[in-house]
Amino acid sequence: MFNFSLLFFFEILLISTTTTTAQPYKATDRVFLNCGSSSPSNTNLDVRWEGDQRSKFVPSNITTTSFSSTPDHLDSSVPEIPYSTARIINSSSFTYIFHVTRGPKFLRLHFYPAAYSSLDAKQFFFSVSSNGHSLLTNFSAFLAVSFLRNTHTTDARILKEFLINVNDAQKLNVTFTPSPNSYAFINGIEILSMPENLYFQATTPKYINQVTGPVIDSDTALENIYRLNMGGGQITGNNDTGMYRSWDQDNNYIYGAAIGLTPLYNNPIMYTTETPNYTAPELVYQTQRSMGNQSDKYNLTWILPVDSGFYYMLRLHFCNIIPKYTKPGQVLFTIFINNQTAEEEVDLFHWTKGSGYPVFKDYIVFVHDRDGSRSKQDLC
């Protein structure tokens, strides 16, 4: 359970244990690949998507190992680019090879489950791996979207976002492998570099209910599960700090009727060396969900369904934006993660220089697979 007085945003990253300064941030690698398309296209973001068909990222036998297709219909919630075309993989495997710089990258895979070339949406089961990390196994975009539509969104597409470190070979391979008697498909691939120490060499995380645990180093791959903007609206990729991360509203995830207060702040956020301005956009810190002066009477709790049997990293962002709180001792709160006490008596005025100064804290928690079924559990 989380019990927060102040909380802005919160990112959950799944830690995959498979085989493997306040400066502006300008991504050195930027790839927006519209799969199944042969021509470039612009979107309303300041982004130019290139078609994969004639790109330098595809294998030379592309025409015998895959084909281009279009969905039988496009849901009104789904933008045309990159979802109105797809590459269908009808061979045993298909690898995109991206030549990028060394360092950590976002790898975003866009899927819109629909019928393609008379193949039913339910027929696509496949695995995706990258640089030795198994990212998706026997994945069904149709089932993934059905699950989300039953719970939290109305979106008909799914974005899978991974954080992968590229070594000195300076290559990011993305391999699609259909399950037996099945096909793979992909609508769009994004690759964006990120600051070296944003997630991978950031602050030492605090382990929940254990003394030590996995270390997030360059051999680790992470999957982003949730990225929420507390108390504010959805923040789209072009309002992020150069990495096109999108931040969702938190209101679908709050437990019960106790939703707290959502104050707004119009002043600039005072970024620091520890929390440089690329960490999260000002919009994230300028809204919050606060417990107000009734904090002794209820708990503010977010419920986040996750797969069991994995480690999760939670990054909690805080910033005091309530003018009447000006000094230590006025706001104290406890943070519970998955029913464990993560922090007792947090006072933001001890963590920061004062109002308008942001700070973030990382926590790592293992979500036990109690019955061995790797089923979804609520992280709260």
Binding site for ligand NAG (CB under 6 A): 1, 3, 22, 24, 59, 61, 64-65, 67, 90-91, 95, 97, 125, 131, 138, 169, 171, 173, 179-180, 238-239, 241-242, 277-278, 283, 292-293, 297-299, 336, 339
Give which of 289, 359, 313 is closest to 221, Cα–Cα.
313
Give which of 56, 24, 21, 52 is closest to 39, Cα–Cα.
52
Least distance from ligand NAG to the Cβ atom of residue 7, Å: 15
Positive or negative, the CA dihedral 63, 33, 198, 236 is negative
Least distance from ligand NAG to the Cβ atom of residue 377, Å: 9
Least distance from ligand NAG to the Cβ atom of residue 118, Å: 12
Q: Which is nearer to ligand NAG, 256 or 354 (CB)?
A: 256
Q: Which is nearer to ligand NAG, 34 or 290 (CB)?
A: 290
Least distance from ligand NAG to the Cβ atom of residue 60, Å: 6
Q: Which is nearer to ligand NAG, 74 or 144 (CB)?
A: 144
Which tokens hold the place of 293? 């002066």
Least distance from ligand NAG to the Cβ atom of residue 361, Å: 19
Q: Which residue is nearest to ligand NAG (CB)?
A: 24
Sequence-ordered list of residues with C-beta below 8 angstroms from that of 28, at least 6 positions apart, any chain: 101, 103, 193
Q: Which is nearer to ligand NAG, 204 or 366 (CB)?
A: 366
Secondary structure class of 225 (helix, strand, coil) = strand
Q: Are 288 and 231 in contact (CB under 8 A)?
A: yes
Least distance from ligand NAG to the Cβ atom of residue 225, Å: 19
Q: What are phi and psi of 343, to 5 degrees?
A: -145, 140
Q: Which is nearer to ligand NAG, 4 or 226 (CB)?
A: 4
Q: Which is nearer to ligand NAG, 28 or 138 (CB)?
A: 138
Q: Which is nearer to ligand NAG, 49 or 204 (CB)?
A: 49
Give which of 361, 1, 324, 13 is closest to 205, Cα–Cα.
361
Q: What share of the chain is helix, strand, coil (3-state, %, to 5)?
A: 10, 40, 50
How many Å apart are CA 76 and CA 154, to the nearest integer? 11
- What sections of the chain are H helices per DSSP? 62-65, 80-83, 141-151, 282-285, 348-351
Least distance from ligand NAG to the Cβ atom of residue 154, Å: 21
How many Å apart are CA 79 and CA 236, to the nearest integer? 13
Least distance from ligand NAG to the Cβ atom of residue 311, Å: 18
Q: Are 309 and 298 in contact (CB under 8 A)?
A: no
Cis preceding-peptide flag for 358 (omega within 30 of 0) = no
Q: Which is nearer to ligand NAG, 67 or 207 (CB)?
A: 67
Cis preceding-peptide flag for 82 (omega within 30 of 0) = yes
